[in-house]
Structure 1
Amino acid sequence: MAKSKIFKNRDVLMPDYLPGRLPHREQQIRKVASVLAQALKGYRPNNLFIYGLTGTGKTAVVKLVTRKLEEKARSKGIRLKISFVNTKRDDTAYRILAKLSEDIGLRVPPSGVATSHLYSRFKKFLDKREIIFIAVLDEIDYHVKRHGDDLLYKLTRINEELKYSKMSLIGITNDINFTSWLDPRVKSSLSEEELVFPPYTASQLEDILKERAVEAFYEGVLEEGVIQLCAAMAARERGDARKALDLLRVAGELAEREGATKVTIEHVRMAWEHIEKDRVTEVVQSLPLHNKLILLSILKLTKEDRATYTGEVYKLYKEYTELLGIETLTLRRVSDLISDLDMLGLIRSEVVSRGRRGMTKMISVESDRNAILRGLSKDPRVAEFVGYL
């Protein structure tokens, strides 16, 4: 394989790369560290709930702090274990409990055990370990919106049933309104400590990119203005550092494919278009089934750039649910899900008056239609309907 003339180390621009330093997150690092430091004294740290938009450094800060915490605990002989679960990937209560169980040394069958039984086994085994256990539940909003907060309720109450071990939770969410989904008892238990991560500014993103670029690229391959443009574009996208790093990496990859010796402003603009289409497909693919059917209805009703309305969408959505033999959500719930699709940037909905018929939402497609269709086509339950569009 030919050696790259662009990249010195592409990995430092990947989403899962954890640098030793996180610029402009010093305050958040101190806060997380101060909460978790109680473990080094043998106490159970307070539960911590972290909010912030995508790409604001939440997961990276928690991983950095917990990694250092584990190192200090080992040096002090403190029995501390930290488990990190992405609840979007391990998206059921069973899978979350299985991951937590395996991380403390309890072997779990892939299936065949009731979730309630698995919880009992996890609790008993945890108590036998006589440890301080910190469970980090990343993207916790995804699990709760799909499956409810029953598991969270149990985990926030588990210390009442433990004699020899102690357990703390760190919840991480991109949804600043997430706690409105929670039972008040769960909310009060989970949010013993709270921390909000603000979006990065353009100048802060520029600092982050400059540090990574030194490790990622050979000297002199970035045209002047490339980093500044990546930072400015990502700052417009709610200060998303992940987007900024992806943009810089994809721009470099496009330059490499061309056989170019420099990454130019034009490569950045091409990378932006490329990422946007991929992002839309990925977002659509991850949507729950009812959201997909609503989006499919909107696509069908807005051909040739026409707008549609909530009532029309609901009528077609209902036809799809009946064809699939699944429950049809209420009109009000569908209206809420339309608002969620708007927040994701897939559609645009605007409340308008229709005279005697009252207020409704006028809806149009905002993102690339082909990218949306690709995302919908990846779900076999929806794919058969996509072919008729």
Structure 2
Amino acid sequence: MGNSVLDDVFDNFVNGIRLFKDREVLRHDYIPDKLPHREDQIRLLGSTVAPVLKDARCSNIFIYGKTGTGKTAVAKYVLSHLESKAKEYGAQVKFCYINCRMTGSEYRVFASLSQSVGLSIPFTGLSVGEVFERFRSGLDQSRIIFIIVLDEVDSLIKDRGDAFMYELTRINETLHKSKVSIIGISNDLRLKEFLDPRVFSSLSEEELVFRPYDAGELRNILLERSKLAFQEGVLSDSALSISSALAAAEHGDARRALDLLRVAGEVAERQGAKAVTEEHVRQAEKHIEHNRVIEALKNLTLHSKLVLLSVYHLNKPSATTGEIYDVYNELCGEMGAGLLTQRRLGTLVNELDSMGLVNARVVSMGRYGRTKKIRLEISRGLIRDVFGGDNRFSQLLSYSPKITNKSSN
């Protein structure tokens, strides 16, 4: 009976105590029937898009706030209600929702837009300009008001620039029978800095800012959601409170709070517990944090990985930007990658610092001015695990920089 281990796992799962009624309710993409503490934003967005019911174009609107503040949920909620109203009034309105981080390129954005007006675009092979042109003429033929939601638009703009936004915000000037309105959603409050001022002013005819939830509001959100997600009496009060407190301390992120609850439930279930307790939430937090760091490490760009490896190789309680640059220089040589300037490296260090992967603090050296001391914030083992699984980087892990050999006499 080689399967007995698995038999146990599966039987326990089937016959064990069921804590969840419906765990899907705790996922990010679940849109609930009511959105607590977002009534004002719903009203505002609703009144901004209302003109399309009388076949008039509505203003472009720009929504921003940090992750987990309900931006996507509110936009989808308002638009699905608008859709049923439009049918009722016979208004010629169509929507297209695109997550720019998932879509990943201008080509794919325009291809998705084309599909939603009924054109099929080959997966590759055309220029971006050509796809845009086909979309434009296909759209004009449809005689509709087209509302485009570009979610996480910040990720695409930082990656690819804002030329595609320029095209989109100007599109109404060349349309005769159709009109376009854009709803842009950004997790980065500083997106203005990345955008051409002309694009920004035409994109943000109306602005909507979502502030983070406080602990009390998060508790209400979790309470509503947990009634649907868990069996009755399974979730302890303390687990609910601590999940809301942890997520509020982070930055009022409902998504994180829901994650904590879901993972805590899974931990409790695996342990065969009858209820989800505070201790399960604490374990869930460690688990999520660990996974978040691993994801973050995997998704770093080439040069950020090289900068992080340089700090790893210096292996001291505090390295200076200069020292890091010297090792980075060697690693780039090893890998045949082009060097970035020392100033650009400074920006990457700050970015790694804000992600919690390194700690960079400015230290005063008395009359010698100020310098930055940088140290690793995550375990060296974690870096070895993640980079060791990547062929390009595994040999750099065992590389021994000339610079450190000199200094460690």
Note closer, same or farther for the CA distance 1:116–1:380 as it changes in structure 2 (3 Å cut): farther
Note closer, same or farther for the CA distance 1:372–1:188 as it changes in structure 2 (3 Å cut): farther
Verify: 1:140 aligned to 2:178, yes or no.
Answer: no
> Out of 33, 36, 41, which is 1:23 matched to?
36
1:89 alignment partner, SS class: helix
CA distance in 2, matches of 1:156, 1:217: 45
Gaps of 5+ in 1: none
Amino acid at match of 2:362: V
Q: Deviations over 1:58-99 (max 9, x none)?
A: 111111111111111122111211111111111111111111
Length-normalised TM-score, structure 1: 0.94
> Out of 313, 328, 336, which is 2:324 matched to?
313
Gaps of 5+ in 2: 1-9, 401-409
> Out of 257, 277, 283, which is 1:270 matched to?
283
> Out of 198, 201, 206, which is 1:185 matched to?
198
- Aligned residue number for residue 160 of structure 1: 173
Amino acid at match of 1:347: V
Note closer, same or farther for the CA distance 1:310–1:377 as it changes in structure 2 (3 Å cut): same
Note closer, same or farther for the CA distance 1:320–1:105 as it changes in structure 2 (3 Å cut): farther
Note closer, same or farther for the CA distance 1:145–1:387 as it changes in structure 2 (3 Å cut): farther
Identity %: 49
Q: Deviations over 1:126-175 (max 9, x none)?
A: 11111111111111111111111111111111111111111111111111
CA contact (8 A) 1:8 1:215 kept: yes
Q: Deviations over 1:298-335 (max 9, x none)?
A: 2332x3x6121212222222333333333322221221
> Out of 242, 246, 265, which is 2:255 matched to?
242
> Out of 89, 93, 104, which is 2:102 matched to?
89
CA distance in 2, matches of 1:33, 1:9: 30
CA distance in 2, matches of 1:39, 1:378: 52
**C-alpha RMSD over aligned residues:** 2.0
- Aligned residue number for residue 50 of structure 1: 63
CA contact (8 A) 1:307 1:363 kept: yes
Amino acid at match of 1:316: V
CA contact (8 A) 1:281 1:374 kept: no
Length-normalised TM-score, structure 2: 0.89
1:8 alignment partner, SS class: coil
Query: Which deviates further from its counterpart, 281-290 or 167-176?
Result: 281-290
Verify: 1:348 aligned to 2:355, yes or no.
Answer: no
2:212 alignment partner, SS class: coil
Amino acid at match of 2:360: S
CA distance in 1, matches of 2:151, 2:62: 10
- Aligned residue number for residue 322 of structure 1: 333
1:17 alignment partner, SS class: coil
1:329 alignment partner, SS class: coil
- Aligned residue number for residue 359 of structure 1: 370
Amino acid at match of 1:257: R
Amino acid at match of 2:375: S
Query: Which deviates further from its counterpart, 210-219 or 378-387?
Result: 378-387
Note closer, same or farther for the CA distance 1:160–1:274 as it changes in structure 2 (3 Å cut): same
Note closer, same or farther for the CA distance 1:386–1:135 as it changes in structure 2 (3 Å cut): farther
Aligned-residue offset at 1:355: 6.1
CA distance in 1, matches of 2:395, 2:78: 47
